[in-house]
Structure 1
Amino acid sequence: MVFRNVIVCRMVPGSEDKVGPVFGHYDKATRPQDLGVIGRRLLSHNDLYIHVIERLQDPKISGQTRGLPAFQKIAEEIAPYVTPYPRYWKNPSDSVAKEFYHWAPDGPEPADTKLTVIVGRIKPGAESDVARVFAESDAGSLPRELGVSGRWLYSIDDVYVHLLEQDTSVAEAQRHNHHKPAFAKVMEELSPYISPYRPETWRGHQDSLAKEFYRWRAED
C-alpha cells in the first residue's frame, strides 16, 4: 500500500519546464527516501500545480511528515512560478489537500498500475456527499470492470482532486468506456457537488485530467 499526500498550489501556466528541473536537481542531490518518500509526481492543470508525494508508510505512524530535505531552497527557487492556492493560506501546511475518501479492493495488487489525476471544483462542504456516491459505486462491480486498484479523494478550498489507480492492462482496454450506464450514473449523482475546474473550456472527461510533467522514484 502506498500512502500519498497531495499539495495544491497555483502555478504560472507554461512554467512546468522551470519547476520540474528544480525538483530534478534536489531529488538527485538530496535523499528524500531518508524521509520515507519513495516517489514524487508533479502535475499541472490550467493554473494549478499538483504535487503528489508517495510513501510506503503513513506519516501519522512514521512521524516523517516532511517530503523535501531541501524544502526552503526549493520553495525559494519555484516561488516565481508557484504560489499558494487556498484563500485561508497562512503557512505551507495549508497547501496540503485533505483526504476525505479512500478505497481499495480486497486481494493482491496488480503487478503494473497507472495513476490518473482528475481535477475539478467541489461544492463547499460536499465531501461527505461525494464520498457517499463513490462508496456506493465502489461496493458494486464497476471499479473491478475498470481495473481500479485504488481511489483517493482530496479537497482543498474549492478544488477537488481524485487519484485513480488502475491495473494498466485493464485501464487501456477500458479507457473509452465512459458510456457505461453505471459510470454515467456516478457522474449524474456527483453533478450537484462536482463541476469542471474551468467550465468555459471543458468539453469532456479528458479536460479534467491533470498532466504529469515530472516524476521521481527512489532507487533504494
Structure 2
Amino acid sequence: MHSTLIVARMRPESAADVAGLFAEFDRTDMPHRMGTARRELFSYRGLYFHLQDFESEDGGERIEAAKTEPAFVGISTDLKAHIEAYDPDTWRSPADAMAQRFYHWSAR
C-alpha cells in the first residue's frame, strides 16, 4: 500500500462543503480508477490534510493519468473555493503540496 498526504490551507467553516464534494466524488468510479483504497480528510487551525491510501505503489501515476478526466477536473475546480495552497509562491502541482514521510511503522 502507498500513501500520500496533501497539506493546504482551508477555512474551518468549509469542512462540511469539502467533505460533501469528496463524498460525491467518491461515489463515482474515479477512486477505483485511481487505485484509492482509503481517503481521510483532517483540519487543524486553518490547515487541511488529505490522507489518501492506494492499493499499490502506482497511485501517483494513476492520479496523473486521471487529471484530465471530467470528474477529477470538476472536483479540483470546486475545491478551489475552499482550499488554497499552503505556499502559493512555490505551488505548481499537487505534488508541491505533498508532505514527505520520514518515518513509518506498521504492525502488518
- TM more than 0.5: yes
C-alpha distance after superposition, 1:124-170 (max 9, x if no partner):
31100000000111111111111111100000010000100111155
- Aligned with 2:95 (options 179, 182, 206): 206
- Aligned with 2:46 (options 152, 158, 161): 158
Partner of 2:18: 130
Structure 1 unpaired stretches of 5+? 1-112
Paired residues of 2:2 and 2:57 also in contact (CA < 8 A) = no
Task: State the number of aligned residues.
Answer: 107
Pick 1 or 2: higher relative contact order, CA cutoff 8 A, min separation 6: 2
Separation (CA, whole Å) in 2 of partners of 1:172 and 1:197: 20
* 1:181 and 2:70 aligned: yes
Cα gap change, 1:189 to 1:165, in 2 (>3 Å): same
* 1:147 and 2:35 aligned: yes
Separation (CA, whole Å) in 1 of partners of 2:68 and 2:94: 11
Separation (CA, whole Å) in 2 of partners of 1:125 and 1:217: 34
Separation (CA, whole Å) in 2 of partners of 1:121 and 1:139: 25
C-alpha distance after superposition, 1:161-208 (max 9, x if no partner):
010011115525514222222111111111110110011111111101
Moved over 4 A (4+): none
Partner of 1:217: 106
Cα gap change, 1:129 to 1:171, in 2 (>3 Å): same
Percent pairwise identity? 34
- Aligned with 2:6 (options 118, 121, 136): 118
Q: Which has the larger radius of gyration?
A: 1
Q: Secondary structure at the match of 2:3?
A: strand
Greater helix content: 2
* 1:196 and 2:85 aligned: yes
Task: Supply the RMSD in Å over aligned alpha carbons.
Answer: 1.6
1:85-100 mapped onto 2 (5 Å cutoff)? none
Cα gap change, 1:200 to 1:136, in 2 (>3 Å): same
